[in-house]
Amino acid sequence: MTTISISRTDTSILGRWWWTVDRLMLAAVVALIGIGVFLVMAAGPAAAGRIGVDPFHFVSRQAVFLPMALAVMLFVSLLDPRTVRRLAVLGFAGTVVALAATLVVGTEIKGAARWIHLGPLSVQPSEFIKPFFAVTAAWMFAAAREHEGFPGQWISIGLYAVVAGLLLAQPDVGMTLVVSSVWAAQFFLAGLPVVLVVLFAAAGLSAAVGAYFLFDHVKSRVDRFLDPASGDTYQIDKAMEAFRDGGLFGRGPGEGRVKELLPDAHTDFIFAVAGEEFGLLLCLVIVALFAFIVLRGISRAMQEDNLFVLLAVGGLVCQFGLQALINMASSLHLMPTKGMTLPFVSYGGSSTLALALAFGMLLALTRRRPAGQGGF
């Protein structure tokens, strides 16, 4: 049997990549992907049965998405910081056009136009705007600090207004919340004055109150969270039952019932499937993996002397952790429900590919490289 090994003296592209990439972070995300495969195999057949397709419809589609996602992640992680920045700017411009197109030709699902159909494929542009905007905003903030007179902060504010406006027009309040939080965190890291911190906090609170009164679905979800008797809480009730039934070790693979009761068990409520079939232990493993990736990313960012890389990594890590937190907190009834996938665990084409793109950027930006590489 022959074994393949990569020595430290290997100067090939893959050799240099292997010895400079954060292999622990990569291992953590591969573990999440592995857990996701088992959970989609558990929840997918029931979801397929509800819409009258082949029992392995979602499993087979995920089997197509995952190799594509891994290829995207590997390719992007090979790039240097300057190329990552250029990719983000071009991707941002294209995705903004796609977001605008959803308002004209998008398919409306559950009262929101978020999808564009390209032949047999359905694409959700808002999933891709998150990593592209995070890296583009990081460039603008860094350029403003490093090049006197460059209006990077104002450009970033303008770009944010465009993105938030397009997302709210769909409407997608939850995605707007994620983008806004990541952008605000980057602005703070870039040296936002205390006065503006207070003003932004007040503006954020006002926007949250405004969303409650302007969007009926937001008001309904908040009301049901604060007062379960005010509306239908079927989904969250079943999710909480699943966690209780799972206990510490779970009911066993394939023995769960929540996947048969919730239409979104393979996507938004995949964490409940994990809790019921594999128990609290697997849930804690999933939480630990997400926490490790976030803390590892923050640690690598704090070692950077390049402001652009620091802000971009900070934004990507914040986005990744916040999405995971929202999904798990929604399933546990710790916040109002929000249709958002659990990164690399839930089923989803656009979500999986966008997350792979974002994680590829994260791996590329945190690779060890000579001091000063990755400038403008």
| Structure confidence at residue 10 (pLDDT) | 63
Query: How confident is the model over 160-170, as pLDDT tens digits?
Result: 999 999 998 88
Whether the upstream peptide bond of residue 171 has omega within 30° of 0, thus cis, is yes
Task: Spell out the per-residue pLDDT of the chain, length 376, in tens.
Answer: 444 556 666 667 787 888 889 999 999 999 999 999 999 998 888 888 888 788 888 888 888 889 999 999 999 999 999 999 999 999 999 999 999 988 887 666 665 667 787 766 778 888 999 999 999 999 999 999 888 889 999 999 999 999 999 998 888 888 898 999 999 999 988 887 777 778 877 887 888 788 877 877 788 888 788 777 776 778 888 899 999 998 898 888 888 888 888 888 888 899 999 999 999 999 999 999 999 999 999 998 888 889 999 999 999 999 999 999 999 999 998 888 877 889 999 998 888 999 999 999 999 999 987 654 544 4
Rounded to the nearest integer, the mean pLDDT of the chain is 87
The percent of residues in the chain predicted with pLDDT above 70, rounded, is 92
Name the nearest CA neighbour of 324 among 56, 47, 101, 35.
Answer: 35
| Structure confidence at residue 9 (pLDDT) | 63
Classify residue 342 by its DSSP letter: P
Q: Which amino acid is at 114?
A: R
Total-model pTM: 0.90
Query: How confident is the model over 249-270, as pLDDT tens digits?
Result: 888 888 888 888 888 888 889 9
The rounded radius of gyration (Å) of the Cα atoms in the chain is 21
Asked if residue 146 lies in contact with residue 376, where contact means CB atoms within 8 angstroms, the answer is yes
Query: Distance between CA 19 and CA 174 in Å, rounded?
Result: 38
